[in-house]
């Protein structure tokens, strides 16, 4: 078994590519099930956020799996094969482990030190576990990554201060508006990004909010917390007539605001300036809107200059975080290598031998030396015959590269090591 990660992120693919390969929440289960249909894939977790689409897998053949997973990404999204190949990174074994630990710890994010990605990783892992796509190796891998993230955040100052995409968006807005107190902000979507962005805006003095969402109840709930009002998404264009700032963050697969919508809207506004930040991938606002006079549209990739300034400020903390990550990668790989068949077979035989001797010793005082010798030989023969089938199966699995699961199962079944049984 090999650990393999395929994906692209904000560094390797622009938002135009990332949005086409994004796995929406309504399709993620189907995607995980389809991945397991690939002949080389045994376990999988899919992480899809505004800044990355990554597939973490355990495979039997890395070369075959790399092609299968790349083909799957294109076929699942009905995109001609090869479009994303140039932007995909393929990471194996310790490099794949190091990457996941870095993502969980926030040092691979656009905004270095941000904490939201950890929650997204936990959600991705829970989703994969629910459909039985994550097995024993990814269970251990993701649990370890969460522990590493905790160490980095408690042992460094990496996450101190404003380090989220939301805070980055507000920094950008602050360069346009010197005062938010009289500005009306329309939030499109009632999720975590919207609420986090709104709270930062409030800290900067904003007081007027309208939340538009497909589910009116969620819009109203968030609006209540902000001291604003909630409306159904169908009313979005009506409330935007009076807006100064629009922040969009939904999981819609298609644009919510088209070029035609915005041209009509700007006529109603009499071309009064409108500032829009689209935090969604796929994007909520048609990029053609940028060409409309007095509409200032920014997406997640436009935040990169602010993100680079943030990364430079945190460079020393990244060095400290790397020390923690490197040590934990080494620890995980030590456990992973322990799944090799030789120590498993040796440990299995030792366990059976311990049990055999323990039971044999109980009979020693009841038997003559000759009888004891015969019983000793008989018990050895029985143990050898019992061990022959599992030993042969483990060796055969090793030859095909499919031994890790079997080795782990044997260790757990016979409790022959301290492998975590949780």
103 membership: H or E segment, kind and range: helix 93-105
Q: Residue 419: which pLDDT band, with cuts at 50, 70 and 90?
A: very low
Domain boundaries, the chain: 2-161, 165-302, 341-414
Q: Which of 259-263, 349-353, 411-415 bottoms out in mean pLDDT, i.e. has the lowest?
A: 411-415
Q: Is 178 exposed, middle or buried (0-12, 13-18, 19+ CB in 10 A)?
A: exposed
- Catalytic site residues? 50
Residue 206's contacts (CB-CB under 8 Å, 6 or more residues apart) are: 180, 181, 183, 185, 198, 245
pLDDT category at 398 given cuts 50, 70, 90 is low
pLDDT at 406 over 80: no
DSSP 261: H
Predicted local distance difference test score (pLDDT) of residue 402: 61
Q: How many CB atoms lie within 10 A of CB 125?
A: 22
The pLDDT value given to residue 422: 36
Strands 41-48 and 52-59: antiparallel
Say how far apart CA 282 and CA 77 lie, in whole Å: 12
Give the span between the Cα atoms of 355 and 364, in whole angstroms. Answer: 15
Predicted confidence (pLDDT) per residue in 252-309, tens digit: 999 999 999 999 999 999 999 999 999 999 999 999 999 999 999 999 888 777 777 7
Mean of the per-residue pLDDT values for the chain? 89
Cis geometry, peptide bond prior to residue 282 (ω within 30 degrees of 0): yes
* Secondary structure of residue 316 in the 3-state scheme: helix
Read off the DSSP letter of residue 74.
H
**Fold of the 165-302 domain:** Rossmann fold (3.40.50)
CA distance 184 to 239: 10
Mention every residue, 6+ apart, whose C-beta is less than 8 A from residue 214: 232, 233, 250
Residue-by-residue DSSP string for 221-237:
HHHHHHTSEEEEGGGHH
Any idea of the CA torsion for 66, 67, 73, 76, to the nearest 10 degrees?
-130
Contacts (Cβ under 8 Å, ≥6 apart) of 2: 58, 59, 60, 61, 62, 65, 92, 93, 401
Please write the tens of the pLDDT for every residue from 360-382.
Answer: 999 888 889 899 999 999 999 99
Phi-psi region of 161 (alpha: psi -120 to 50; beta: other; left: phi over 0): left
Mean pLDDT across 13-23: 93
Tokens of 345: 């077979």
**E-assigned strands of 233-325?**
245-248, 274-278, 295-299
Name the one residue in this structure whose structure tokens are 């993701």. 142
Find out whether 13 and 73 touch, Cβ atoms under 8 Å.
no
Question: CA 171 to CA 302: how far, in whole Å?
Answer: 12
Strands 89-92 and 2-9: antiparallel
Residue 417 pLDDT class (50, 70, 90 cuts)? low
Q: CB within 8 A of 27, min separation 6: which ones?
A: none
CA dihedral 343, 344, 347, 353 (to 10 degrees): -130
Instruction: Report domain 2-161's class.
Output: alpha beta
Interatomic CA distance for residues 315 and 165, integer angstroms: 18
Treating both helix axes as pointing N-terminal to C-terminal, what angle do 116-130 and 93-105 enclose, rounded to 10 degrees?
Answer: 120
State the Cα angle at 75 between 74 and 79, rounded to 5°: 50
pTM flag (> 0.95)? no
pLDDT confidence of residue 421: 39
Q: Give Cβ neighbours of residue 287 (< 8 Å, ≥ 6 apart).
A: 16, 297, 299
Question: For 228-252, what is the mean pLDDT?
Answer: 94
């Amino acid at each position: 078994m090999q650990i393999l990660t395929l994906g692209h992120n904000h560094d390797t693919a622009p938002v135009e590519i990332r949005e086409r390969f994004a796995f929406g929440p309504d399709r993620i289960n189907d995607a995980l099930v389809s991945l397991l249909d690939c002949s080389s894939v045994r376990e999988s977790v899919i992480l899809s956020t505004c800044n990355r689409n990554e597939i973490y897998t355990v495979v039997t053949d890395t070369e075959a799996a790399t092609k299968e997973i790349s083909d799957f990404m294109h076929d699942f999204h009905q995109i001609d094969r090869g479009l994303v190949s140039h932007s995909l990174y393929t990471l194996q074994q310790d490099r794949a482990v190091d990457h996941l630990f870095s993502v969980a710890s926030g040092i691979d994010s656009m905004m270095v030190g941000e904490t939201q990605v950890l929650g997204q990783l936990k959600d991705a892992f829970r989703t994969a576990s629910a459909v039985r796509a994550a097995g024993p190796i990814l269970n251990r891998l993701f649990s370890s990554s969460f522990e590493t993230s905790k160490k980095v955040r408690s042992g460094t100052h990496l996450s101190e201060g404003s380090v989220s995409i939301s805070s980055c968006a507000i920094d950008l807005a602050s360069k346009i508006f010197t005062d938010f107190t009289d500005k009306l902000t329309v939030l499109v979507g009632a999720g975590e990004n919207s609420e986090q962005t709104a709270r930062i805006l409030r800290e900067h003095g904003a007081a007027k909010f309208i939340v538009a969402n497909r589910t009116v109840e969620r819009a109203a709930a968030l609006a209540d917390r902000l001291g604003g009002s909630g409306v159904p998404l169908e009313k979005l264009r009506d409330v935007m007539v009076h807006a100064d700032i629009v922040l969009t963050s939904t999981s819609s697969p298609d644009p919510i605001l088209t070029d035609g919508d915005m041209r009509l809207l700007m006529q109603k506004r009499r071309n009064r300036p409108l500032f829009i930040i689209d935090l969604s991938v796929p994007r909520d606002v048609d990029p053609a809107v940028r060409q409309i006079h007095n509409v200032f549209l920014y997406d997640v990739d436009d935040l990169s200059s602010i993100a680079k300034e943030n990364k430079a400020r945190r460079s020393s903390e990244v060095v400290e975080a790397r020390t923690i990550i490197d040590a934990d990668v080494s620890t995980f790989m030590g456990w992973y290598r322990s799944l090799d068949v030789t120590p498993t077979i040796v440990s299995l035989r030792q366990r059976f031998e311990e049990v055999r001797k323990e039971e044999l010793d109980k009979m020693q005082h009841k038997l003559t030396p000759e009888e004891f010798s015969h019983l000793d030989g008989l018990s050895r023969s029985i143990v050898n015959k019992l061990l022959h089938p599992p030993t042969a199966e483990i060796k055969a699995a090793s030859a095909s590269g499919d031994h890790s699961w079997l080795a782990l199962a044997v260790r757990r079944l016979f409790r022959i090591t301290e492998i975590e049984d949780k």
